[in-house]
Structure 1
Amino acid sequence: MGRSAYFLTSVASANPRRSPNRPRTTVGASSSSSSSSSPSSPSSSSPSSSGEGSSCSGARPCAFGSRRLSIVLTGVLAPRRSTTARVGVPDGRVHRHPRVVVFTPPRPRPRLGWSVASRRPLAFRGGDRLRESPMRFSPLADSRLEILNLLDLPVWITDPDAVRIVWANRAAVALWRAEDVRELVNRDLAPSPTIRATLQQLRERVQTGERFGSERTIYPKGEAVRVHMSFKAFPLPDGRGGLLVEATPIRDAFDPEVVRAAEAVRYAPLVVTTHALDGSLLQANTLARTTFGNAFSFAGIFAEPAEGARVLAHVAGGEPFFEDVEVVTTEGTRWFSVAARPIPDAVTGKPGILVSAHDMTARIEAERAKDDLVSVVSHELRTPLTAIRGAIGLVVGGVAGKDPALQAELLQMASENVQRLGRLVDDLLDVRKLAAGSISLKLANVDLADVVQGAVELYAPAARAKEIVVETDVPAGMPVFVDPQRIQQVVLNFLSNAIKHSPAGEVVRVHARSIAEGFRVEVGDRGPGVPEAFRDKIFRRFSQADASSTRSIGGTGLGLYIAKTIVVMHGGRLGYENGKAGGAVFFFEMPARATD
């Protein structure tokens, strides 16, 4: 008894609209006990005129759509053994062809093959009518996935960035309660930042070669289904990493309270981790892995290693810990409120550590900004008010007598400090407006030289008071479309900064030139330059290189912040460079025609 092997046979089409020399395809069975078949064999299928609705039985060809695909399903697949395909041609002769497609799926699973004409995956059972595989609707057309349709185990591929399923086998389509894979891949899975972060973390873990599984809950059409998932890496067509998920539904009874608690912790907007007494990680929720990575220890999250070791020893000794500390995250150093307490491990019963933490950086920075504001404003208010009070007191008290020159000098001192107070109030109002986005630009066509020269003249008295020479190199005839008042404010802030930090008798240089993108203005000084520790925060609000109450150079720390905001509003950029011979050069660049 020979076993049968499936092969493809082409016979002449009976469709009068087709060319008589163009064959149509038929699937048949050939006895593997012989390497040849008689032309008169029933399975040789001479040309037939079967219509498109013909059924598939025995060796009778059946038509399918415009391709007129015919199928014969008989026998059991032989192990990989060569066979022959018989091609019928119009003269009635039969020719053997050595090229053959052999299918080897086990019974009674669905048998899969490829349509020779369309290269679409096909699925068929016994005498069932031919139907197309769900892969037809999938954006992934990878032949490696074909065999997965034979499994009873649900398998699907997820795009972690798009948070959607991009391919699924039949078992997965059934698990997700979908009509077909087209409906599943287009289903809205209600992606959230937490779910996206979870999938991306899983992708990172499998890309390192780690193999792992976990119990999770999915919600096909709103119904909770508990499954055990295992994950593997699978490359997507565009080169990004995807996740191949194998899911085994959990049939055993489980405690709903336990499941709800686990899901709540997993997706809570709070870092939750458990550790062994040596600090090694036992479990971490989604936000914890987003914040600290996939592998970290309790002591290792602290910015100061010595502090981490101290806190670990404290908690391992049986004492709880509650404190705001600096920690090292995937985004840099942050402030977290950390609560750690000793607990027994729920699985082994051994002593462990439960940690919960949340990011306090924004609140702490706001508190510091408030403290800085109070400190800076009180200092900047006290100094001019003291001068004003002293000058007016001398005049009112008669100390100046009837000396007009002395009286004028004291009144001039009071007037200058009133102006200083006015600038402070203006800066504070500008900061509030900039933060609220309520400042709009009043653009106009002006000559850049007029704007820069106007700022230099306004600061001439302050430069003369320190015997500082301001040199300008600004060519006339540089038309720009900007807000002249705001650009002049930027130059004034640069000049104020340069004059304050330059020693008496030095030179401050102002230079402007055209560049490919628009224009550039520079203000250079011969001061101490920008300290290394201050470079990252020099353009922040209330930032001072020396923020102590005894600092020798005044200022609110708002000028450069305001200047940067104005430049950015014009579509430009602002920065600084430490000079080769000392000092610093602050500059801004922007297009010659700004847009509001």
Structure 2
Amino acid sequence: YINLYGEDITQRRKTEKEVAWVARDLRQVIETVNAPIIGVDVKGLLNEWNQKAADITGYSRDEVLGRNLIEDFIGDDYKALLQEVSDKTLKGEETASVEFSLYTKDGQQVTILFNATARRDASGNIIGVFGIGQDISERKRIEQMKSDFVSLTSHELRTPLTSIRGYVDLILDGDAGGISKEQREFLGIVSQNTQRLETLINDVLDIEKIESGRIKMRQEKVNFSEIVEDCVNTFKVMAKSKGLKLEKEIKATQIDVLGDSDRLSQVFSNLLSDAIKYTKEGRVKVTVQVKGKFVSVTVEDTGIGMSQEDLSRIFTGFFRSDNSYVRKTTGTGLGLSIAKATIEKHNGDIRVESKLGVGTKFEVILPLLKEAKKVD
């Protein structure tokens, strides 16, 4: 006798066919998507290189597969960074966007913004790194042009302004002989507006450095209470001239943080200046206190306040409210955007709450020294 055994594999064949179709469709998407897709195995050897990556670099898929991505194609300034990202991704850690330069076949470099993720097999084991990128070379070129233009223009404006202000001050001091009351008034207006233009130039330079990542922040132990107290003392005269009460409540004389004392002073000078400037009557109060692992500083006023629409845009560069009182005062609209960027560079946060016609309250939160060192 002959026994025959069979198995109906119709469903399995159907499933295999569907998987093949999905794989083909996925390959087609990878090859036609308008973004470079790059993949490496656990040794860092390239095993994925789509058509867009080939178009950007000039290297075909066959020319790169099996070669080491970092050693053969990444700019020297980015090798260590990309190796760190690769190591973390292979451990299953989430990785945010990373920027690096990629060599092209003709020896040039293109800048790629890349999102990496772990590549896994059917059992869930990590077998490599896979990601999709974006060619941002043109954007970086435009950013550099803007940066160069701002720096050059600001320098060319600052030089004659310094000369104008210097000679105006000499005339006001009587070094060029006596001047009439009317002449003194006119020269005072020139001097005041020269200072305003100098402030605008300095603010524009600061915001450009922050946006381009070129701003340097010192990392040193500073007494935060002392910084705030010095700023409050500086603005006592300004507050008194408007008939305002300037109150302070510093709950500890020594609160140490890690940061740049000059930049932090600039932040609180901006906050105090605005609070006094936009308060017609009442008071401005500054409170410093420790909250757990952080120090909190609030600057609260009884000023004109802000609408919800203005609140949503308050940290935007060059933003100034349409409020008639605001329009009557001088300002660049850059102070708060600089303050926010500076505090974030210190691993802190700045918050605001306000009610139109009632007042505004800003709060700055920074990690205490020991916590800041951990973050650093």
Q: Report if the CA contact (8 A) 2:306-2:355 is conserved.
A: no
Q: Deviations over 1:492-523 (max 9, x none)?
A: 110111011000x4210011111124111110
Query: What is the alpha-carbon distance in structure 2 between the residues aligned to residue 569 and residue 451 of structure 1?
Result: 17
Secondary structure of 1:543 counterpart: coil
Deviates more, 1:474-483 or 1:419-428: 419-428
Question: What is residue 51 of structure 2 aligned with on the other side?
Answer: none
Structure 1 residues 391 and 527: alpha-carbon distance in aligned structure 2, compared to 1, 3 A threshold: farther
Structure number with greater Rg is 1
TM alignment of 1:167-316, pairs within 5 A: 167-168=19-20, 172=21, 176=24, 190=30
- Partners of 2:231 and 2:326 lie apart in 1 by 30
Any conservation in 2 of the 1:482–1:592 contact (CA below 8 Å)?
no
Report the TM-score when normalising by structure 2: 0.54
Q: Which residue of 1 aligns with 2:348?
A: 572
Structural mapping, 1:36-115, within 5 Å: 42=1, 58-59=2-3, 72-73=4-5, 111-112=8-9
CA RMSD, 1 decimal: 4.6
Offset, 1:551: 2.0
The one-letter code of the counterpart of 2:5 is L
Structure 2: unaligned runs, 5 residues or longer: 37-60, 63-141, 143-160
Displacement of 1:580: 9.9
Q: Greater helix share, 1 or 2?
A: 2
CA shift, 1:556, in A, is: 0.6
Distance (whole Å) between structure 2 residues aligned to residue 399 and residue 566 of structure 1: 45
Contact 2:307-2:356 within 8 A present in 1 as well: no
C-alpha deviation, 1:453, in angstroms: 1.1
> For residue 399 of structure 1, what is the aligned residue in structure 2?
180
Deviations 1:532-563 (A, max 9, x none): 22122110110000288992122110000000
Aligned to 1:587: 363
**CA contact 2:246–2:284 (8 Å) conserved in 1:** yes
Counterpart for residue 261 of structure 2: 484
2:324 and 2:357 map into 1 onto residues whose CA distance is 28
CA apart distance, 1:418: 5.0
Change (3 A) 1:470 1:192: farther
Q: SS of 1:190's equivalent?
A: helix
How does 1:357-396 map onto structure 2 within 5 Å? Answer: none
Residue 458 (structure 1) aligned with residue 322 (structure 2): no
> Unaligned 5+ residue runs, structure 1?
1-41, 43-57, 60-71, 75-102, 104-110, 113-145, 157-166, 177-183, 197-220, 223-362, 364-381
Aligned length: 249
- Following superposition, the deviation at residue 466 of structure 1 comes to 1.4
Task: Give the Cα separation in 1 of the matches to 2:322 and 2:219.
Answer: 36
* CA shift in 2, pair 1:413/1:446, >3 Å: farther
- Structure 2 residue identity aligned to 1:430: D
Is 1:433 matched with 2:209? yes
Whole-angstrom CA distance in 1 between matches of 2:363 and 2:260? 17
Report the TM-score when normalising by structure 1: 0.36
Q: Which runs of structure 2 are paired with 1:15-34 in the superposition (5 Å)?
A: none
Tell me, in whole angstroms, the C-alpha distance in 2 between the residues paired with 1:455 and 1:425.
22
Alpha-carbon contact 1:579-1:585 (below 8 Å) kept: no
What's the counterpart of residue 334 of structure 2?
558
CA distance in 2, matches of 1:483, 1:390: 32
Alpha-carbon separation, structure 1, partners of 2:343 and 2:285? 20
Tell me what 1:149 maps to: 13
Task: Decide whether the 8 Å contact of 1:391 with 1:410 is kept in 2.
Answer: no
Residue 494 (structure 1) aligned with residue 271 (structure 2): yes
Deviation at 1:148, TM superposition (A): 5.5
Name the CA distance, whole Å, in 1 between partners of 2:267 and 2:222: 16
Alpha-carbon distance between aligned partners in 1 of 2:262 and 2:230, rounded to the nearest angstrom = 10
1:270-323 alpha-carbon deviations (Å, 9 max, x no partner): xxxxxxxxxxxxxxxxxxxxxxxxxxxxxxxxxxxxxxxxxxxxxxxxxxxxxx
d(CA) in 2 for partners of 1:531 and 1:579?
Answer: 7
Asked whether the 8 Å contact 1:520–1:588 carries over to 2, the reply is yes
Bigger RCO (CA 8 Å, 6+ sep): 2
